[in-house]
Amino acid sequence: MNAQNQALAEGSTMLGPYEQSAAAKAAYDARWARIMACVRLEQPDRMPVGMHSFFWPATHGGLTFKELMYDYGKAKKACLDVVTEFEPDGVFPLLMGTALGNALEKLDFKQLQWPGHGVGEMQPFQYLDREYMKAEEYDEFLFDPTGFYIHTYLPRVAGAFEGFAKLPDFLGLHYFRLVHGIRPFALPEVRESFDRIVAAAEEVNVMFSHHLDWVQQINAAGYPLFNGVNSVSPYDFIADYFRGATGMMKDLYRHKDKLKQVLDKAAIFLARMTIKNARLSGNPIVFIPTHWAPDAFMSPKQFEEFWWPPFRRMMLELIEADLIPMPMWESDCTKRLEVIKDIPAGKCIYWFERTDMVKAFEVLGDRVALRGNLSPSMLTTGTPQDVDAAVKHLVDKVWNQGGKLILDGAFGIPDETPVANVRAMFDAARKYAG
């Protein structure tokens, strides 16, 4: 760790602002320039390396996963330490990804179990795949998505919103009806919901202030955030958070027309939400995990009919707004490569988890920058020599062949990865493509 990073780490519990030295600014600009050169399909001075993780900073710092979720001070230091030690070119907003325990508790969030709440203190998140919107509610969602959110969806997914089921129907409130119609706001359960939501929002503000402080610290040391916001594809939005896996797979056959209408509508409001949030963040890169795109989850015909069209429409909206979509194509998406190539060149980063990166480069190398994809099993159970060899393979077969590759794990650094293997990943990147 250099002297600047050491001084920053020792002062990591202090609140900002933090001044960026000329040397740190030059390092920050160089790191960001590497990433942007890859996006534009230009050759940077060396291969950039990303740092994406959830609970690995706890492993590295000797904390429990629960501590990373609930203790802002410890989480901030742990997330700062991994950045200053390994010196990545771009960093995932590490604090925003994990330090949510207090806010989740106050929301009484029901779609997730997390360390110390439903699972053990050293276990990661566990999403609860359930039917949060029934098939017969498609019409209600299509007619008034906001009303469905307020009266039905939010009370189902977070206990703090339960009183909202008693709120009036806002469509049609007018003139004296507006006066008469607000009576439900005086109900005890509605008042209680507002109190609980305010308490949760205040907790989120506390968490966000720690996030901003941490970002100022890493920026002052010369490290940019890789992405400012996350988003979701329209299909995954409905499949994951509304219909559930079983319901959505049935809908492909039983409610295909209404499903397409919902996906078209979701593509519009998800794009608008993402553009607004990304502009507020000041960072153009949008991280988009994709959960239902893999080859094993639906046929090529279904992918081309249901999954890809609304997502492509959404990505084009983001690109038109001068943003850089970065879909993280989970699992194996080899059968999708020719289809997902249909986007403007030099505008996106495609991050692949298990897809053969050499094949991805052959199909997409003239279209997008690539990110990934060191095997999680190799990172967690292999040796530093294994990691070195895997990095060399990607450098030889992709980077040295003209591919614009941003090195990372398949889905970042797995929680259980030995520190020596992470060090080997960064060292090999600089040794073979530095």
Domain boundaries defined on the chain: 3-136+186-433
Q: In the beta sheet, which residues pair with residue 405?
A: 370
How far is 202 from 286, CA to CA, in rounded Å? Answer: 26
Q: Which two tokens stand for residue 249?
A: 């797979």
Which DSSP string corresponds to 217-250?
A: HHHHTT--BS-SEE---HHHHHIIIIIHHHHHHH
Cα dihedral sign for 327, 333, 339, 345?
Answer: positive
Concatenate the DSSP letters of all residues of 290-340 into one string.
Answer: ESS-STTTS-HHHIIIIIHHHHHHHHHHHHHTT-EEEEEE-S--GGGHHHH
What pairing do the DSSP bridges indicate for beta strands 112-115 and 126-127? Answer: antiparallel
**Going by DSSP bridges, is the β-strand pair 126-127/285-290 parallel, antiparallel, or unpaired?**
unpaired
pLDDT in the model for residue 6:
41
Positive or negative torsion for Cα 324, 297, 306, 150: negative
Q: How far is CA 214 from CA 24, 78, 128, 347, in A?
A: 16, 11, 30, 29
Are the beta carbons of 402 and 368 closer than 8 angstroms? no
Picking from 115, 114, 112, 69, the residue whose alpha carbon sits closest to that of residue 94 is 69
Q: Which long-range contacts (CB under 8 A, 24 or more apart) does 248-251 make?
A: 248/292, 250/135, 251/135
Task: Kindly list the distances between the CA atom of residue 105 and the CA atoms of 110, 113, 120, in Å, as whole numbers in the listed order.
Answer: 10, 10, 16
Rounded CA-CA distance 198/193 in Å is 9
What's the pLDDT score for residue 434?
Answer: 86
Spatial contact of 94 and 63, defined as CB atoms under 8 Å apart = no
Domain 3-136+186-433 class in CATH: alpha beta
402: its two tokens: 């003209």
Dist. CA 76–CA 87, nearest whole Å: 16
Report mean pLDDT in 10-residue bins for the chain, 434 residues: 38 58 97 98 98 98 98 98 98 97 98 97 97 98 96 98 97 95 97 98 98 97 97 98 97 98 98 98 97 96 98 98 98 98 98 98 98 98 98 98 98 98 98 95
Quick one: pLDDT at residue 7?
Answer: 36
pLDDT at 188: 98
Tokens 């890809």 identify what position? 308
Which residues, other chains included, contact 247 with Cβ-Cβ below 8 Å and sequence gap of 6+? Answer: 131, 134, 135
CA distance 39 to 389: 26
Place of tokens 């925003």: 96
The confidence score (pLDDT) of residue 8 equals 36
Whose CA is closest to 76, among 91, 96, 52?
96
